[in-house]
Structure 1
Amino acid sequence: MRTRVKICGLTREEDIDAAVAAGADALGFVLWPGSARALDPGHLARLAARVPAFVTRVGLFVDQDDEFIRRCTPYLDLIQFHGDESPEACRRAPLAWVKALRMREGIDLHAAAEAYREARALLLDAYRPGVPGGTGEVFDWSRIPANLAKPVILAGGLTPDNVGEAVRRVRPFAVDVSGGVEAARGIKDPAKLHAFTEHVNLIPES
């Protein structure tokens, strides 16, 4: 099965064009104000209008209120809950959703897959206390069970240099990258975008 590619943290129209040209399947927009890549709903609307058909627009939220999420959903296709949202909170989402889990010590991914059973996938990211994501750190991929009941989106410190190994070892449904394809914070590098997707797609199917 082909591994899909999500490019996250987009802030400029030209970066959307570059990500699409590189073959991205999904584009991530950060709606959490604590991020340096954060967008407000107006900026989101302008960027979302740039995204062509059949490329999924994903909104990233971190423990935010339902009303704000609803304001953003006309410009999105999928919600990514990246905080400590309960299963009940996620179920109130007005769109299909994925749940991000930080790989803290002792996490039970099988239990999480059951608790968040309505999620379309689980996004697995590196854990750093007090930081909801975007750490640029890689976690131990061997901690991911092969028989997890949900599709896995692999995140955490991925770059063009290590994504090939990540796909070979984990065989995730998708990979998610932000800082690993940037020239500066929030500014994507077209050469890195192409290198990243090429290394994902070079993986032989087996």
Structure 2
Amino acid sequence: MFRTRVKICGITRADDALAAVRAGADAIGLVFYAPSPRAVTAEQAAQICAVLPPFVTTVGLFVDAAEADVAAVLSHVPLDLLQFHGDESPAYCRSFGRPWIKALAMRDGLDVAACVERYAGARGLLLDAWVPGVPGGTGEVFDWARIPDALSMPVVLAGGLTPDNVAQAIDQVRPWAVDVSGGVEARDASGNALRGIKSARAMNAFIQQVQLRGVEGG
């Protein structure tokens, strides 16, 4: 039976990281991109990583960061996997000596198969919605039919996933993993998302839907 993996991204608090793990998350994402409302410092990230149990993958998200800045984070934070969301070259991505994945914004005309060849050293490709000027975390869904069949690299599906649509996404795309951030965030009394603050209830609901598709889809 194939099991779709789950990454909860944009974690900013140790309590949320633990709640994600209890819900069944395989990985947590830490954002090292200052303009993001979900950004963390190296010190915050190290504190979050320190409370995690074994066998949970820690992923660091970067956007066109200076090599020195990435190296500084790596000297403080025990990241297992690097995730690059900018215009980073393959040489840049592999220069840190860590496993990595490349995020692609699914803009019109993007040749995903060609990107697989270009980023052949990646552990996988993360496919996200394209919103001008926003490198990820958009909360938007793209047309999943645009993903080519039988890519030779694992696909991590992102972009507007929620407990309400993740089952459909898995049925249609059959990704190796799904990546969620805004879709599992807490909300205030007016229904506005509290960016960077996760809802344990929403994370549980999301992962339950993923697990059900694993059982039903085989």
Query: Does the alignment reach a TM-score above 0.5?
Result: yes
Per the normalisation by structure 1, the TM-score is 0.98
Cα offset for 1:149?
1.3
* Alignment partner of 2:199 out of 189, 192, 195: 189
Distance of 2:46 and 2:78 partners within structure 1: 6
Gaps of 5+ in 2: 187-193
Distance of 1:37 and 1:75 partners within structure 2: 19
Distance of 1:93 and 1:128 partners within structure 2: 28
Cα offset for 1:93?
2.3
Aligned-residue CA RMSD (Å):
0.8
Instruction: Give the partner amino acid of 1:140.
Output: D
Residues 62 and 83 in structure 2, CA contact (< 8 A), matched pair in contact too: yes
Question: Given the alignment of the two structures, is residue 111 of structure 1 paired with residue 123 of structure 2, yes or no?
Answer: no
How many percent identity over aligned positions? Answer: 57
CA deviations on 1:48-80 (whole Å, 9 max, x unpaired) are 111111000000000001111122224210000
CA deviations on 1:30-64 (whole Å, 9 max, x unpaired) are 01111011111111111111111100000000000
Distance of 1:33 and 1:51 partners within structure 2: 24
Q: Which residue of 2 aligns with 1:42?
A: 43
Distance of 1:165 and 1:181 partners within structure 2: 17
Give the paired residue count. Answer: 206
Distance of 2:204 and 2:159 partners within structure 1: 19
Runs of 4+ in 1 over 6 A off after TM superposition: none
Residues 70 and 94 in structure 1, CA contact (< 8 A), matched pair in contact too: no
What SS does structure 2 have at the residue aligned with 1:185?
A: strand
Q: Which residue of 2 aligns with 1:141?
A: 144
What SS does structure 1 have at the residue aligned with 2:135?
A: coil
Gaps of 5+ in 1: none
Distance of 2:96 and 2:127 partners within structure 1: 20
